[in-house]
Structure 1
């Protein structure tokens, strides 16, 4: 780990209690009687609890107005649940193998309630709850509370800043290593190693798209040997202190063609224009429109084939999404990627991505490495 990175303050039971209370308030605002949270990123964010066992056994957190948050777990997992940081703010209840877990859930849910349910819930568990509570309605949290985790607090921002700095250090190190003559998988392995050396506990992806493979935005590093003259898309990230990094730069192996230079400049200008458009009150779709307008005006609109960005937090992809049709207004504390790209099938691709946080009067980049086309060996 970089010596300059100090571990952040650990989240406390009070932090988790505050999050749970805030979610209850948000649920009431949209007409819900409560929220049901299955194992996954929402449960980790709300309680600090991440079951280690296979999740075919029903585990769920129930948050409802006027009630103590209740976590229902299999009896064999109760000790782990009670050891979670957020456990002091919870009532932990259990059920035993051989009994009906949905009957246990019935006791803590309203028989005719309106509930938001986390998107990570297994279909089998949703069907089981519907069986014992036929009068209740369950709605996807991604639909009714899409911005549940979108606005980050200061302690969360501290983690995202650290993750972004570690990703920057990884990029600065990777461009000093050889590219020409090596396999994409070898460069990807270096990226993963460097992310861990700079403090990441988890590596989620290491895209190395060389030459024609760069025209696939989510290309998985393969056995193509990188050649002089290739444009190479490097997109990498993971979790540090439980929060995500995600950055993309496009490099050239030796001297690029003029076309690669021109396309790279267009993407760089689109990324900058979108960043400059960030401020509270602007809609998510407007950031997408700004980036897309630059690329379309340059004649490459049909080659920009994905949304401009996605949120980031305890996962590397989460709301808000910067895409046409998303009218959610930006708010201070929201964090997301800005990553326009141009993809020329069979030839090459270019993408530039930073994580950006909305401030009181604009935006702040959490990635600060050079956007200019870097030449590597």
Structure 2
């Protein structure tokens, strides 16, 4: 069963084609698995090999190019006809410097009469590398290849009712995982045991809805490692008295994410930790009150920065990004960010992970929310006490 009605996929395709036309792109070749999913519904653990989706006004419907052994996956998860699922044999994977999947893609485009068009490709993505580009360029000497990075990502920005429903379910899943993780953290408990519990909760889901693997491993450093923004657990580590821990997690449902971060102190927290948490929460609350349609992303960041600057703190990194549908290695949509100079104007049903973390000398504090821009302001999709948790 498809996660969305066929009409919703067709509406997405129509919007993508409109954006293509505005940019003078006649054919779009998408390789980001999240974008492939958004256009066709395709969902399988096959993104470690070349694959992609072709969109064009010259085609009746999108074409999904996948590995031969993944044909059933495509037939089972996409909305198009069987004729639009075009598999390549494994020989295209064996000696990629001799015969490559991009050669196959070129042949498909040639067969469809699209070999001499202006073709957009996702040049700056995790799933399209330099070798792929050169092989595609060699395979299509009469085509003009242009950069179409994030063309589909931007279309994904404003969520449909069903997409928001899936993000709400992901939020309920991560709230359960966060609650249990905080309960399980204690002196002498192995970090990997808490991590295992988190994975169990993220996959078991709510009881009504099961969960999926998230696009990013739980971030959950302890002690001085909290000064680093992207540490996970240590394999032999045990939680200690007077130790700081923060956890950034996300539930995933139908590949839709809702990240959440909270900070925990085991014992009596030092004044600097209490004060930093207080400032982060204040900054987050001011940020939430600033968000509404018509406001730019840089104005949101400025509200946060102005608040923490009053206390002598400054955050150099972005403090929020669009979030929703994703596959590894990240859950960001790679479009709008809450950062200086970001002129993107907020619109209803855009969704963001607000990330007001502070990584300081020897410690870090992060308390974050996933939010939706509403008609008049914003609401948090994640619902969890916003405080420094003390064990």
Report the TM range for the smaller structure's normalisation: 0.7 to 0.9
Aligned pair 1:111/2:89, yes or no? no
In structure 2, the residue corresponding to 1:202 is in which secondary structure?
A: coil
Aligned pair 1:291/2:304, yes or no? yes
Displacement of 1:79: 4.3
Aligned pair 1:350/2:365, yes or no? yes
Question: What is the aligned counterpart of 2:178 among 171, 175, 181?
Answer: 171
Counterpart in 2 of 1:327? 343
Residues 28 and 65 in structure 1, CA contact (< 8 A), matched pair in contact too: no
Residues 19 and 151 in structure 2, CA contact (< 8 A), matched pair in contact too: no
Q: Which runs of 5+ in 2 are unaligned?
A: 93-98
C-alpha spacing 1:288/1:180, structure 2 compared with 1 (3 Å): same
Aligned pair 1:360/2:375, yes or no? yes
Q: Which runs of 5+ in 1 are unaligned?
A: 1-7
Instruction: Report how many aligned residue pairs link the two structures.
Output: 365
1:306-325 matches, cutoff 5 A: 306-315=317-326, 316-318=331-333, 319-325=335-341
Counterpart in 2 of 1:374? 389
CA distance in 2, matches of 1:77, 1:106: 23
C-alpha spacing 1:274/1:141, structure 2 compared with 1 (3 Å): farther
Counterpart in 1 of 2:96? none
Counterpart in 2 of 1:221? 233
C-alpha spacing 1:45/1:90, structure 2 compared with 1 (3 Å): farther
Residues 166 and 256 in structure 2, CA contact (< 8 A), matched pair in contact too: yes
1:181-220 matches, cutoff 5 A: 181-198=188-205, 199-203=210-214, 204-220=216-232
In structure 1, the residue corresponding to 2:11 is in which secondary structure?
A: helix
Counterpart in 1 of 2:294? 281
Counterpart in 1 of 2:95? none
CA distance in 1, matches of 2:181, 2:238: 17
Residues 39 and 50 in structure 1, CA contact (< 8 A), matched pair in contact too: no
Instruction: Give the TM-score of the pair, scaled to structure 1.
Output: 0.88
CA distance in 2, matches of 1:227, 1:79: 49
Displacement of 1:114: 4.2
CA distance in 2, matches of 1:233, 1:271: 16
CA distance in 2, matches of 1:67, 1:106: 13
Residues 258 and 381 in structure 2, CA contact (< 8 A), matched pair in contact too: no
Displacement of 1:20: 1.4
Displacement of 1:354: 0.3
Question: What is the aligned counterpart of 1:67 among 56, 59, 76?
Answer: 59
In structure 2, the residue corresponding to 1:371 is in which secondary structure?
A: coil
Displacement of 1:75: 4.9
Residues 34 and 114 in structure 1, CA contact (< 8 A), matched pair in contact too: yes
**RMSD of equivalent CA atoms:** 2.5
Alignment deviations for residues 253-302 of structure 1 (CA, whole Å, 9 cap, x no partner) = 1221111111100001111111111111211222222212222221121x
C-alpha spacing 1:92/1:166, structure 2 compared with 1 (3 Å): closer
Residues 116 and 143 in structure 2, CA contact (< 8 A), matched pair in contact too: yes
